[in-house]
Every structure is written in structure tokens, then in C-alpha cells.
Amino acid sequence: MYLCNKKFIVILLSVFLFANNSEARDIYVRLSGAGKYSIGITSGNLVMTDAEGRLANLADSAQISVSGNYAYIMGNAFLMPVRLTGTGFLKFDGKTYRGAFLITQRGGLLNVLDLEQYLCGVLPAEVGANWHEQALRAQAICARTYVLKQSMNRADKGYDVVDTDADQVYKGAGVETAKTNHAVSSTAGEILTYGKDLAFTYFHSDSGGHTADIEDVWGQKNMPYLRGVPEVVNYKSPVSVWNAKFSASKIQSVVKKVTGADIGTVKEIQVSEVDEGGRAINMTFIGSKGTRSMKASQFRLGLDPRTLKSTMLTPSGGVFNADNDLTPSGLVTNQKSQNTNPNLTFEEEQGIAKMTAEGIFTTTELIDMLTNPNKKKNYYETGLGRNPKTTKKTTTSKPRNKYGYSIEKSGNEFIFYGRGWGHGVGMCQWGAMAMAEQGWTAEQILNHYYPGTAIRRYK
């Protein structure tokens, strides 16, 4: 009955998405697939109903195990799906939840609750509860759109989303705050669309200065609203700059796992292609037995995306400004130091091109100019005072190749320096926060990160 109802809801959603429909929309969140669950309730007793309509009143807690098509409680077998409800908040794994629990053969333990209530448990888990109201509203619209889009693609899985950052983080009722709940209620029913379709509203923590093209990360094409855009407001997050070390043997195993090739001991790693914002697209691995290349995003996921926080890699842990002074926050520089009259004459544009050809600017400086065109005037003036033979070099341990640069190596370890956290596609949460603090509305923030989209109501 559950699967039939869910597929029916998905069909209705795709047909009547923008109709004036006040009917509640339930979301199915997968909390666990362990097969053994310790369930509780904050007040009253648990009430269980199985697929045959059998009703059982339980105590304020229950130990449930799953085998085959049955859930076992106190030695009694109940045909799945099994639904658990009660008068209080449900409890599992130290968290409290609104709605009901559903235990199914394929999905595992699910939290079933109204869409808007679900979002109340997402916002404070995904962003700071004390963030600016407009940033929270933008996050609410993104999160609502994301889960609805996923639900339309997962009818065969038996759930809509998981509760981790594999989709979007959800921590139940225990993390709710008045401010984040208000952001949900003030945007109730609002979704982001591209044409007649729901948009894919991917988001991440910190872009490192420039978001990514979805094609460069996951290969999808024909999504013009998911192109890389520069950050427009200065900000600094807890992960603006980071570094991580990995052994050559670990990297060798990742290359073999992803490409199927054993290249032997890894001798050198090159960032062989970057996008206009400086984010690594492709990487080349040179080993004692051969050479292989792969997408930087594939390498990051295969290695450890929580430690190798992004593919916005840098040669030395940051970038250098026009005076070759290290800027810890990467491409996001102090706005007050930027030129207030960035327009170049035709002769000055030609001068920039000539100086670039002569090697006056470093690779990182060229990336900075691409990302921040309003800084070209400053670079032009700096370049006039430089001599190609005396231009200072950035402090990298390896010479840069003609496309990018080599990753630093120390003994049997490679040291990765980078900026930001996440895949880089779509909205940057820290960027959205900075924009909101500068007076941008949620609508303007979303238009920046998802150009060409529109906010509509699904009910």
C-alpha cells in the first residue's frame, strides 16, 4: 500500500505541481537500514500497525528487528511495512522526530512527515540557526525544491531522501529553532523552477571563490542554470583555507579503483585542467608503471571528500595578490582594496594580453583576474612596474606545468592545499550568507546562483 500510494503521489506531483493544491505532502526520509532499531517516544506509548491491519499498543520503547518480510517485536512477527505513531515525538538514535516511523523491507527505517515539518529539521542542520533571514529563506526554498525533485526520481527506492549530506542533512525536531522555522513558514510552498520543471537545487558549504559548472563535476549537460559563477561579496568561512595529507599508496589505490589501472608508486600529481574560477577539472597521476588522468571530482570522492574538502585546489594554500602577498581567504579578497574604476581602455586590455604572453603574471593571478574582472586595472598597473626577469615567483614545491601545477610532495605523502568545502555546484551557503548581510534578498541570491530560474508555488 505504501509503494502504491507513494507512486501515486509522485505522479500527482509531476502533473499538478503548480496547481493551487493545499493537500499536505509527506516526505519519506531514510534514517537507517541496519535491520535492528531501538525506537522510543517522548510521552505516551507507541502504537504499531502492520500491513495486515494488526494493531498493537507498545510501551514507551520497543526493540525491533527485521528478517525477510517481517518485523519482530518481543518475539511476535508483523508483516511489513510496519507503521509506528504516538502522541509524543518519536525517538531514534538520540534524536526526536515529528510524524511517524515506517519500517519497510527495502527502505529500512523511515521518518514520514509533512514536507514543511521536514524542512524545519533541515535548515538548522544545514546552516547556522542565527544566520541572516534572507539566507535562511534562500536555503528553505533550495531544500524544499531539492527534496521534491528527488522524490520524483526515487519512486522505486521506497524513500525520498536520506538524512545525511548525501542528500541534505536532517536532524529531526530536536534542532528546530524559532528563526529557522519562520524561514520555512515564510516561504511555505515556494520552489525554484526552470521553465516548467523543478530545478536541481544543488548546494554546498563554501565555493572557495567561484562555483562550478555541473558538467565539469558530474557530466550533466543542458543545465544552463548550473554554471559556475563568481562570489560577489567578501566572506570568510571556517573552511576558507585548508590542507590535507595523503600517502602515495592511498592515492595509488584510488587511481586503481577509479580507472582500473595500476600505475605503481605515485611520483607526481598534476592539476592538468582548471575552470575559469581556478577549480580543478582534471588531474593527471604519474606513477612508476604509467600515467592516468581522471576528473578531479571523481578523485575527491574516491579519496575522502571530508578531508579533501573540495576541488578548488591551490598550489600553496592560498592565492597571491598583485604584490604576491598571500591572501588566506583565497580569491575572496577585501573589497575595499579593489579598484573602484575597473574599466580598461582598449590599449590597456591589449597591454594585459601582452604582459600575459610575456609571463608577467603568475597562473594564480591570471585565475584571479578571470574570477574578478574588476581587479584587472590593479593588475595592469602592477604589471607595468614588473620585469619578466625579476618577477617574484609563488612558493610552490613543484614547477607548474603548462595547464596548471603539481601537487606538493613531502617524502611519501602528497600535501593538498585548497579553499572551500563541497562539490561547488549551485548555491554556496557561506556566499549566500554574505550576500544577505549586504542587503541581497533570497530571490536575488537564488537568481545569482541559479540564473534563469524562477520562484513559484507548488501549493
DSSP 211-222: -B-HHHHT---S
The answer on pLDDT for 268 being more than 60 is yes
| Residue 360: per-residue pLDDT | 76
Assess contact for 241 and 318: CB atoms under 8 A: yes
| Rounded (to 5) percent helix, strand, coil in the chain | 30, 25, 45
Better pLDDT: 381 or 162? 162
Q: Which residue has the cell 509527506?
A: 26
Taking phi over 0 as left and psi of -120 to 50 as alpha, with beta for the rest, 278 belongs to left
Radius of gyration over alpha carbons of the chain, in Å? 26
Residue 13: CB atoms within 10 A of its CB come to 16
| Residue 344: per-residue pLDDT | 67
**HSE-up (13 A, CA, CB side) for residue 455:** 19
Q: Tell me how far CA of residue 437 lies from CA of 73, 125, 333, 340, in angstroms.
A: 52, 20, 17, 21
Q: How far apart are CA 78 and CA 64, in angstroms?
A: 10
Determine how β-strand 61-67 pairs with β-strand 55-57.
unpaired
Of all helices (H) and strands (E), which one includes residue 137?
helix 133-153
173 pLDDT band, cuts 50/70/90, is very high
Q: Does this model's pTM top 0.85?
A: no
| β-pair partners for 63 | 38
Cis ω before 81 (30° cut-off from 0):
yes
| Residue 146: per-residue pLDDT | 98
Better pLDDT: 34 or 6? 34
Better pLDDT: 372 or 207? 207
Assess contact for 107 and 34: CB atoms under 8 A: no
The answer on pLDDT for 450 being more than 50 is yes
Number of H helices, E strands in the chain: 13, 28
Assess contact for 293 and 230: CB atoms under 8 A: no
292 pLDDT band, cuts 50/70/90, is very high
Task: Name the 3-class secondary structure at 414.
Answer: strand
| β-pair partners for 266 | 287
Most confident region among 251-260, 387-396, 450-459 by mean pLDDT: 251-260
Cell numbers that stand for 423 in this block:
562539490
427 pLDDT band, cuts 50/70/90, is very high
Q: Tell me how far CA of residue 338 lies from CA of 211, 334, 373, in angstroms.
A: 21, 7, 10
Assess contact for 95 and 85: CB atoms under 8 A: no
